[in-house]
Structure 1
Amino acid sequence: MMLMSLLLVLSLERLITKESNWHIEKYASQYLGFLREKKWLNDDASSATLYFYLLLPAVLLGLIEYWLLGAFLTFIEQSIVLFICIGCPVLRATYKSFLNAAERGDLQACSMYTDQLGHCASQTDSDGSAGAEGKSFGQHLTWLNYQHYAAVMLWFIAFGAPGALFYSISRSATEALCDANHPLRAAAGRLMFALDYIPVRVTAFGMLMMGHFSRALPEWIKHALKFDVSAYDVLTRISAKAEVLTPDEQQRQTENAAVEPKVLVKLAKRNVIFLLVITSALTLIGSLA
């Protein structure tokens, strides 16, 4: 069922231009607004309170699946939830605009679109140190592609629709709290560090399998068990090793800023295929339903 949902949703996500009503950001924003309106999540709230309210929708969804829905209705519900959680229309539009600007040679517009990616929550590590400064558009894009595709897929594979919902709401809430410089931004960052710890390493392993294995493997081993490096840095460092620009691509990069992002996007797409193949294998041997 999970494999069927993944294949169906990824196919639809590529074919259909999603409106805001079909993306988690809208509902996560409304949920946070509701919590603030009720004063259940104000500036004085504790970290435990934040974690409770971020987990609550996933728990309720899990209870609905367990008590009310049968196998077929659960498949429909999980596919709908996954379709809402996966992907990012705004990110895709920004990427297309960046490519157009790069083709025109408009470096100022390219820089503006890099800033528009919205990576506030990745600017600092869990300990508050600078983490994302100086990264290229392609590296930011690799990270956001992971957050909106690979991580959601992995949480869905592990815990079904409740897992995908929990990760997506936590990601959106963390970004919103970071943008607002909320007192709970550090607590949200610690939560995302924990939620990303295993998925980002699984994703990075897929990238080295789909890219330059011998160059990326030492970097992956170096970061495999580290707890003092942000998920953002782990992914961008390993992806940079897994897909190094050729001399010809490096020369073209000086003339066209879109060369590196296109290369890294191709790597990310190959990684999604890798995750689907592993999911298929686990389904065939009975490890996944």
Structure 2
Amino acid sequence: MMLISLLLVLAIERSGVKTPHWHIEYYGTRYRSWLTDKGWLSEDSADWQVWLYLLLPALLLGFLESWLLGAFLTFVEQTLILFVCIGCPALRATYKHFLQAADRGDLEACAHYSDQLGHCEEPASEEQTAASREGKTFGQHLTWLNYQHYAAVILWFLAFGAPGALFYSVTRVVHEGFCREGTSQQSATARLLFALDFIPVRIVSFGMLMMGHFSRAFPLWLRYLSDFTVMPGRLLTEVAGQAEVLSPEEQSAQQANAAVEPKVLVRLAKRNILFLMAVTAVLTLTGLLP
């Protein structure tokens, strides 16, 4: 049933345009505002309280599935929740505008659209300076956001159903809101996201090296496999960069057209989603997934 839900959601998401009411950004933002208005979420909230509030919607959804819904209604509900959680219309629109600006050779517009992606970074270590983060290319940043809005949601859905996808998505949305506002709760949600991304980002990056240049990317992936200090975004973008290195012709073309690298990395991300779907199909056929 999970495979059918995934296929339906990805097909509909790719073929249509979502309104704001069909995206988790709308509900996650309103949920955070509701918690703040009630006084339950404030600058003085302990980390465990922030984590509990983020987990609460998933717990309620899990209770609803277990005690009130039958098999068919659960399938319908999981498909709807997954559709709400997956994808990012604003991200896709920004990417299209970036490609158009790059084709025109408008570097100023390219920089503008790159800023529109948002740069809410993970907590930096001592060696991960602001300069190094600013040097992240549009394609690398797009790869990370694609992971957050697609691959990570899929993996949490496969592991824990709709509650898992909801928990990850709400945490991401709330963290982005805290990051934009620079509130103290940002550190709590950042640590939670680090934990939530630890295993999925290694699975997704492994899929990328399987779909790209395995021999070049595997040593880097293996070095980061048990590294508890490397940030998920850094791991993913570095492995993706090794798995899909630009050819000399593409490097030359990149000088004249800034869209070359993003296109290459987006193709890798799409192949990786197909790889995840193929593995999901195999696990479903063998009975390891419902």
| TM-score when normalising by structure 1 | 0.98
Encode CA deviations 1:176-211: one digit per residue, 9 max, x unaligned: 111111111111110000000000000000000000
Aligned position for 2:107: 107
For these two proteins, the number of residue pairs brought into alignment is 288
The answer to whether structure 1 residue 221 and structure 2 residue 205 are counterparts is: no
Cα distance in 1 for residues equivalent to 2:13 and 2:213:
28
Once the two structures are TM-superposed, the CA of residue 129 in structure 1 deviates from its matched residue by 4.8
Question: Aligned with 2:133: secondary structure?
Answer: coil
Once structures 1 and 2 are overlaid, which stretch shifts more, 148-157 or 109-118?
109-118
Q: Are the equivalent residues in 2 in contact too, given 1:94–1:113 (CA < 8 A)?
A: yes
Q: CA deviation at 1:133?
A: 2.5
Hey, what's the Cα distance between the residues in 2 that align with 1:133 and 1:211? 26
Q: Which residue identity lines up with residue 275 of structure 1 in the other structure?
A: L
Once residues 126 and 152 of structure 2 are traced to their aligned partners in structure 1, the CA distance between those partners, rounded to angstroms, is 22
Which moved further from structure 2: 107-116 or 46-55?
Answer: 107-116
Shift of 1:132: 2.8
Write the deviation string for residues 69-94 of structure 1: whole angstroms up to 9, x where unpaired. Answer: 11111110000000000000000010
Once the 2 structures are TM-superposed, how far is the Cα of residue 112 of structure 1 from its aligned partner?
Answer: 1.1
CA contact (8 A) 1:204 1:235 kept: yes
| Letter in structure 2 aligned against 1:119 | H
Distance 1:127 1:22, change over 3 A: farther
**What is the aligned partner in structure 1 of residue 31 from structure 2?**
31
**Whole-Å separation in 2 of the counterparts to 1:7 and 1:178:** 33
Aligned residue identity for 1:245? L
Could you say which residue in structure 2 is the equivalent of 1:118?
Answer: 118
Give the match's secondary structure for 1:92: helix
Q: Is the 8 A contact 1:99 1:258 kept in 2?
A: yes
- CA 1:127 to 1:192, structure 2 compared with 1: closer, same or farther past 3 Å? farther
Q: Distance in 2 between matches of 1:162 and 1:105?
A: 44
Does residue 141 (structure 1) correspond to residue 139 (structure 2)? The answer is no
> In structure 2, how many angstroms separate the alpha carbons of the residues matched to 1:262 and 1:205?
20
SS at 2:39 equivalent: coil
Q: 1:38–1:126: structure 2 CA closer, same or farther, 3 Å change rule? A: farther
User: Separation in 2 of the partners of 1:141 and 1:133?
Assistant: 14
Instruction: Tell me what 2:152 maps to.
Output: 151
Structure 1 moving runs of 4+ over 6 Å: none
CA drift of 1:150 comes to 0.2
Task: State the 1:115 CA deviation.
Answer: 1.0
- Once the two structures are TM-superposed, the CA of residue 127 in structure 1 deviates from its matched residue by 7.7
Contact 1:137/1:261 (CA < 8 Å) preserved in 2?
yes
What are the Cα deviations for residues 121-162 of structure 1, in whole angstroms up to 9, with x where unaligned? 34x337895463310000000000000000000000000000
Give the conservation status (yes or no) of the 8 Å contact 1:132–1:232. no
- Give the RMSD, CA atoms, in angstroms: 1.2
After superposition, residues 210-289 of structure 1 pair within 5 angstroms as: 210-289=211-290
Partner of 2:134: helix, strand, or coil?
A: coil
Query: Match of 1:261, SS?
Result: helix
Mind listing any 5+ residue stretches in structure 2 that lack a counterpart? none
Moved more, 112-121 or 263-272: 112-121
* Superposition TM-score, scaled by structure 2 size: 0.97
C-alpha contact 1:121 1:174 (8 A) present in aligned 2: no
What CA deviation, in whole Å up to 9, does each residue of 1:192-235 have, x standing for no partner? Answer: 00000000000000000000001000010010010111000000
For 2:201, the aligned partner's letter is: V
User: What secondary structure does 1:120 align onto?
Assistant: coil
Equivalence for 1:73: 73
Look up the match of 1:169. 170
Any idea what SS the aligned residue of 1:132 has?
A: helix
CA displacement 1:225-280 (0-9 Å, x = unmatched): 10111000000000000000011111110000000000000000000000001101
Aligned to 2:97: 97
Partner of 1:62: 62
Identity %: 59
